[in-house]
Amino acid sequence: MSKTTGEYLITREKNIYEVVIGLEIHAQVLSNSKLFSSSSTKFGAEPNTQVSLVDAAFPGMLPVINEYCIKQAVKTGIGLKAKINNKSVFDRKNYFYADLPQGYQISQYKHPIVGEGTVILDMSYGQREIGIERLHLEQDAGKSIHDLDPQSTFVDLNRSGVALMEIVSKPDLRSLDEVNAYVKKIRSIMRYLETCDGNMQEGSLRADVNVSVRKKHTEKLGTRCEIKNVNSIKFMQMAIDYEANRQVDLIEDGKKIDQETRLFDTKKNETRSMRSKEDAHDYRYFPDPDLLPLEIKNDFIEKIKSEIPELPDEKKKRFIDKFNLSPYEANILVSDKETSEYFEKVIKNSDVKLATNWITGELFALLNEKDLGITQSPISAENLSKLINLIKNGTISGKIAKTVFELMANGDLDPQKVVEEKGLKQESDPKALESLIDKVIAENPDKVKEYKSGKEKLFGFFVGQAMKVSDGKANPKLVNDILKKKL
Amino acid sequence: MTIDLKTVKHISKLARISLDDEKAKKLADDLNSIFEFIEKLKKLNTDKIEPLTSIAETTLKLRKDEVKSKNIRDQILKNSPNENKDFFVVPKVVE
Amino acid sequence: MSDITSQNLTELIKNIKDKKISSEEVTKSFVEKAEKARTLNCYITEDFDSAIMKAKKFDSKPNFNCKLPGIPIAVKDLFCTDGLKTTAGSKILNNFIPTYESTVTQNLWNEGGILLGKLNCDEFAMGSSNETSFFGNVQSPIDKNLVPGGSSGGSASALASNLTPVTIGTDTGGSIRQPASFTGTVGLKPTYGSCSRYGIVAFASSLDQAGPMAKNVKDCALLHEVMSSYDLKDSTSIDFKRNNYSELLTNNIKGKKIGIPKEYSADGMPKEIEDLWIKGIEYIKECGAEVIDISLPHTSYALPAYYIVAPAEASSNLARYDGVKYGFRSEGENLIDMYERTRSEGFGNEVKRRIMIGTYVLSSGYYDAYYLKAQKVRQLIKNDFDEAYKKVDAILTPSTPSSAFKIGEKTNDPVSMYLNDIFTVPVNLAGLPGISIPAGLDKKGYPLGLQIIGKAFDEQTLLNIAYAMEEKINFKNNIKEWWIK
């Protein structure tokens, strides 16, 4: 794949194919209760303990919509720069499955709550604008557990009825890197808005991937296949790669591609046809007669707009404009809401450049090593800020600061205290340094001679000696200045 | 328009109702006579009409996002055909 | 005092409040009557011991401030009753015991009512003769081997036979009004959204309405008062001003304008029905109301539209009966096999027919031509009524195109069965309230009913007109209790 142009192409003897990808992301809405019932949505509960009569589709049970879920969908739509529809309709999507107690899913078909929007991706080769087709609300299904018993499938309905936002992209993605960036961006926007926690391990973010291929420079889209329920970015990439190659092989063999639904087998790393969904094309959508059309007034939308926090794109622009960060640096700092919050806390009282370097450098390395997220950082933003100030005001050198940093990580220690206790203060008194340097010079007469006769590289030797004698505490800049004078 | 045996079998699959050939044929006959009677609607011009969406001029009632339902697992599983206190149990699903 | 079971609701309440009779006596009387009438097959589930216990409890600490103090009531087996089997007349719910109560029945118990048991009905409310129930046909008290009508056949039969002082049914295309007409009783289908659908086994969500069935209009009005409420658990429930209908009931309908729709006079309409209608018009005039000819041009499209919309919604509502969570299950080799066996064994023929129609009209390629079209026709029908209601306050029509027919007479011809609903169906499609009152007998001596259709949410005017007409008609049901040897 080309890094400069982002092209992801599949080459065969005579033909070059490009891959066209669209994603349908299913994001669980952050809310206390489910979309149409008042059961809890908490993850990890004992099976069937968060199931109401409505969720289990008992006779005579009826749906009542959760106001907050509507807000969350509208918020997300605003974050996707999308059109919020004043009128939308809930439809029944009819099919039979063990984890679908009603025998239909309440979803939205022709009139979704959110219409077209865009998402901007920052790729190494420039910005890419990915179109959003729509966002709609729908019920999540329960869970079918196939491996507890050889003859039976066990069904847990805790998840049945939890609100999902389905975000459908236009078929604008062209590479595995773009898929990665797209999912991360959507996830980031929703985490900023607190409309979805984006936790792929817990299943709060999943995707169906639509893949088709076409010969390079053709306009017409090829037949697409849908790969359902992929729950990690890595698997998405593997699935797309396998599927695209499968389709290309078929075309090269002169065969037709059947439009079908497939699964990604994570053990065999291949996609295969889903038998149970064969007849399920005909969902017989019709407006749910237990619900009325949903009307969203403009002032409701405006009110939500006014409550939206600064989103990654805006924040990035502000960081670049106001703080002079590079786009690359800004990107790293805004990609995660918590990181940007940490950064902004640090720079409240300390130097931006240093903060940027220390966060993206030392802090990230520490977090990676300990496998922690920034919210679990062993060093708080306040203390990191203090450390940076100690560097800036010359109390310690940058090198010593690294030592202090490591010590601070054991219990989020105050850097001032660490410096004092360990006596790490930088030596910046010119008189002290002068006498120190005089000593070094006096102790190395032949080196002095060599230097004076032209071996300029030996300058570093004297600096090194001065640092050694001072236990690294000598102010490097002053050492340099004084040495220059004396030599 | 006539509904043939093939269509009846397809619809019965969608509806998850099994039919043997004899039952399917009878059903096809019944459906055809019913559809003859329904076909009358085709004569009516409804081009400029909006479908009826609700009887009264009301909007969808919104519920506050509060957890009101408790753990009623016993009640939920009480009527299920299997004696399992945690799950609903069905014959294996082949995917 | 006359035989307790022949007293109407208003009389019973008065006698209980005046302490002339106890709830226990009343309940035991109805129980005894029911035990002697098992031939009629009105009951699917009797709850007699429990009812008597509740009656005793009421008597020990009576509350005379409620509207149905200690009154025993049997209800259609479509209402979920907590702890008591609820079958919807189907094998697929043959063993289902709800752990919850429907809002409408809870309203009855909150006002002092006592549950006698669950009454037979057409399976999943699909039928017009109570011949599709898994639990067997219901016989009409009017004559042996006569259908009571449907789908609330068990309710109408029990009511007319005095096995219950009043009852409640559901009406999707005429299932309260048609059996009321066939049995010489009063049945009201309220405005859509008036009674909560929570806890009622759903048939066609945009058409279903629970309603009161009684021996006279005043009882009907009182029962409706208790049943009708705004329910947050039902998103289609409507918040409007609900009267104490029985208190405000009056026979003064002077100056009210009653519409006579010419389209209801179909070709081949039996002369007896035509005559009944004409008589009804005369009575209305005698009450001081004005009669105006109106037109409801799209009437003939109502029945076809109904037989698209109702089965479509039903096919989806009945998808939950899959043997997984509750109800009957027929084991299968795999999940799909289990579904198919369960549903083909668990559902009767009429239900299967309607599920098939419904599935078909929603299926890919047919949705626009059928379901969408039918919903548009519905709008046209509603527009017809809206237009008419600019000129009139209510509309008078016959309830049914004939009196009750013999058991088995129409079971081979589904379309001829569907035609029973020709006058009642437009009312459900438009969401309006409609009441059937007994208005006469045909030459066989079988009851015939007249239907009054009202404006949305104006049950009071509807009940008043029915009340005034009832007085003029002075109908006496001619039941000879043929089932008692």
Q: Give the DSSP per-residue string, C377-439.
A: HHHHHHHHHHHHTTT-SEEEEES-SSS--BTTSSTT-HHHHHGGGTTTHHHHHHT--EEEEEE
Separation in Å, CA of B36 to nearest CA in chain C? 10
**How far is the C-alpha of C195 from the C-alpha of B59, rounded, in Å?**
18
What torsion, rounded to 10 degrees, do the Cα atoms C432, C435, C441, C447 define?
100
Give, as one character, the DSSP assignment of residue C477: -
Distance between CA atoms of C214 and C437, rounded to whole angstroms? 10
SS (H, E, C) A131-197: EEEEEEEEECCCEEECCCCCCEEEEECCCCCCEEEEEEECCCECCHHHHHHHHHHHHHHHHHHCCCC
Phi, psi of C434 (to 5 degrees): -145, 140
Whether the pTM exceeds 0.80: the reply is: yes
For residue C235, give the nearest of B27, B33, B60 by CB distance. Answer: B60
The partner residue sitting opposite B87, judged by closest CB among A48, A150, A291, is: A48
Integer Cα distance of C12 and C15 in angstroms:
5
| A neighbour chains, 3+ CB pairs within 8 Å | B, C
Pairing type for strands C72-76 and C114-119 reads: parallel
Residue A108, CA atoms < 13 Å, CB-side half-sphere: 27
Q: For all residues of chain C together, what is the average pLDDT?
A: 95
The CA distance from A283 to the nearest CA of chain C, in Å, is 8
| CA nearest to C95 within chain B | B79
* Residue tagged 């619809």 (tokens): B11
What is d(CA B54, CA C128) in angstroms, rounded to the nearest whole number? Answer: 26
pLDDT at A277: 47
DSSP assignment, residue A377?
-
Residues 225 through 254 of chain A touching chain B, CB cutoff 8 Å: none
ipTM: 0.96
Instruction: Please work out, in degrees rounded to the nearest 5, the angle formed at the alpha carbon of residue C223 by the alpha carbons of C221 and C227.
Output: 115
Long-range contacts of residues A177-181, Cβ cutoff 8 Å, at least 24 apart: A177/A1, A177/A6, A177/A8, A177/A123, A178/A6, A178/A8, A178/A21, A178/A121, A178/A123, A178/A128, A178/A130, A179/A21, A179/A23, A179/A209, A179/A233, A179/A236, A179/A237, A179/A240, A180/A233, A180/A237, A181/A121, A181/A122, A181/A123, A181/A128
Q: Measured in whole angstroms, how far is the alpha carbon of residue C284 from the centre of its chain?
A: 24
Quickly tell me which residue has 């009951």 as its tokens: C43
Contact between C77 and C152 under an 8 Å Cβ cutoff? The reply is no
pLDDT exceeds cutoff 90 at B70: no
**Three-class secondary structure of residue A275 per DSSP:** coil
How much of chain C is in helix, strand and coil states, percent to nearest 5? 40, 15, 45
- Catalytic residues of C, by residue number, are 76, 151, 175
A154 touches chain C (CB under 8 A): no
d(CA C131, CA B41): 29
- Provide long-range contacts, Cβ within 8 A and 24+ apart, for C245-250: C245/C221, C245/C459, C245/C460, C245/C463, C246/C218, C246/C221, C246/C222, C248/C460, C249/C217, C249/C218, C249/C221, C249/C460, C249/C463, C249/C464, C249/C467, C250/C464, C250/C467
List the beta bridge partners of residue A273.
A262
Give the distance from residue C332's alpha carbon to the nearest chain A alpha carbon, in angstroms: 11
- Give the H or E element holding residue C27: helix C23-35
Q: Has residue C267 got a pLDDT over 80?
A: no
Contact A101 C320 (CB under 8 A): yes
Q: Greatest CA separation found in chain C?
A: 69
Across the interface, do B65 and A287 touch by the CB < 8 Å criterion?
Answer: no
pLDDT per residue over C102-130, tens digit each? 999 999 999 999 999 999 999 999 999 99
Contacts of B12 in chain C (CB under 8 A): 356
B23 class by beta-carbon count within 10 Å (0-12 exposed, 13-18 middle, 19+ buried): middle
The amino acid sitting at C447 is: P
Segment-wise mean pLDDT, segments of 10 residues, chain A, 487 residues: 70 92 97 97 95 97 97 97 96 95 97 97 91 98 91 94 98 95 95 94 93 92 91 92 95 90 89 65 92 95 95 93 90 89 93 93 92 91 93 85 89 87 81 84 84 83 84 82 81
DSSP count for chain A of H helices, then E strands: 16, 17
Residues from chain B contacting residue A282 (CB–CB below 8 Å): 14
Nearest Cα of chain A lies from the Cα of C81 at a distance, in angstroms, of 11
pLDDT of A160: 97
Other beta carbons within 10 Å of A443: 11
Q: Which of A66, A276, A290, A295 to mutate to test the interface with C (most CBs of C within 10 A)?
A: A290
User: What is the rounded radius of gyration, in angstroms, for the C-alpha atoms of chain A?
Assistant: 30
Question: At what angle are helices A381-392 and A415-422 packed, to 10 degrees?
Answer: 50
- Determine the residue among C236, C316, C336, C371 to mutate to test chain A binding: the one whose Cβ has the most chain A Cβ atoms within 10 Å: C316
CB atoms within 10 A of CB A446: 7
| Interval A404-462: pLDDT, tens | 999 898 888 898 888 888 878 877 788 888 888 888 888 888 888 888 888 888 888 88
Q: Which candidate in B3, B18, B87 is best for mutational testing of the C interface (most C CBs within 10 A)?
A: B18
Rounded distance, CA C168 to CA C183, Å? 15
Q: Which of A60, A286, A290 lies closest to C236 in CB terms? A: A290
In A, residues 191-250, which contact C (CB 8 Å cutoff)? Answer: none
Backbone angles phi, psi at A91, to 5 degrees: -115, 155
Taking contacts as CB-CB distances below 8 angstroms, the residues of chain B near A293 are: 53-54, 59-60
Task: Say whether residue A49 is in contact with chain B using an 8 A CB cutoff.
Answer: yes
Q: How far, in Å, CA of A473 to CA of A477, rounded? A: 12
- Rounded to whole angstroms, how far apart are CA atoms A204 and A202? 6
Contact check, Cβ <8 Å, B41/C374? yes
Q: How big is the A-C interface in CB pairs under 8 Å?
A: 97
pLDDT of residue A5: 65
Q: Which residue of B has its CA nearest to C322?
A: B16
pLDDT at C418: 85
Give the closest-approach CA distance of C326 to chain B in angstroms.
5
Q: In the numeric block, which tokens belong to residue A424? A: 């790490």
Is the Cβ pair C415, B91 closer than 8 Å? no
Once rounded to an integer, what is the mean pLDDT over residues C441-457? 96
Q: How far apart are CA A358 and CA A361, in angstroms?
A: 5
Q: Which of B75, B90, B94 sits opposite A155 (nearest CB)?
A: B90
pLDDT, position A46: 95
- Asked if A308 reaches chain C (Cβ–Cβ under 8 Å), the answer is no
Residue C2: predicted pLDDT:
61
Q: What does residue A143 show for φ and ψ, rounded to 5 degrees?
A: -115, 135
Residue A136 confidence (pLDDT): 98
Query: Letter for the amino acid at A269?
Result: N
Number of other residues whose CB lies within 10 A of the CB of residue C267: 4
Q: Do residues A399 and A391 make contact, with C-beta atoms less than 8 angstroms apart?
A: no
User: What type of residue is A203?
Assistant: G
Please state, in angstroms and rounded to a whole number, the distance separating the CA atoms of residues C332 and C338: 4
Q: Do A155 and C324 touch (CB under 8 A)?
A: yes
Contacts of B31 in chain C (CB under 8 A): 353, 356-357, 360
Contact between chains at A145 and B69 (C-beta distance less than 8 A): no
Nearest to A282 among C99, C202, C364 (CB): C364
Please say whether the beta carbons of C121 and C129 come within 8 A: no
Contact A57 C197 (CB under 8 A): no
Nearest to B63 among A48, A66, A282 (CB): A66
Measured CA to CA, the distance from residue B9 to residue A283 in angstroms comes to 17
Choose among A47, A160, A40, A142: nearest CA to B68. Answer: A40
Percent of chain C with pLDDT over 70: 100
pLDDT of residue C459: 97
User: Checking DSSP bridges between strand C447-454 and strand C434-441, what pairing results, if any?
Assistant: antiparallel
| B window 28-87, beta carbon within 8 A of C | 30-31, 33-35, 37-42, 44, 46, 49-52, 54-56, 58, 60-61, 63, 72, 75-76, 78-81
Q: Count Cβ atoms within 10 A of the Cβ of residue A371 and give its class: 0-12 exposed, 13-18 middle, 19 or more buried.
A: exposed
Handedness of CA C281, C285, C288, C291 (dihedral sign): positive
Mean pLDDT score, C23-36: 97
Q: A365, exposed or middle or buried, with CB in 10 Å at 0-12, 13-18, 19+?
A: exposed
Which of C352, C363, C376 comes nearest B51 by C-beta?
A: C376
Cβ–Cβ contact B7 with C under 8 A:
yes
Give residues with Cβ within 8 angstroms of B18, minimum separation 6: B12, C340, C341, C343, C344
Could you give the 3-state DSSP secondary structure of residue C319?
helix
pLDDT-based confidence at residue B83 (cuts at 50, 70, 90) = confident
Percent of chain B with pLDDT over 90: 46
Coil/strand/helix, residue A421: helix
Q: State the pLDDT at residue C358.
A: 96
pLDDT tens digit string along C206-222?
Answer: 999 999 999 999 999 99
**What residue type is C301 in one-letter code?**
Y
Distance between CA atoms of residues C427 and B22, nearest Å: 38
Q: Which whole number is the average pLDDT over C71-90?
A: 98
Give the phi and the psi of residue C373 in degrees, each rounded to 5: -60, -45
Neighbours of C393 (CB within 10 A): 21
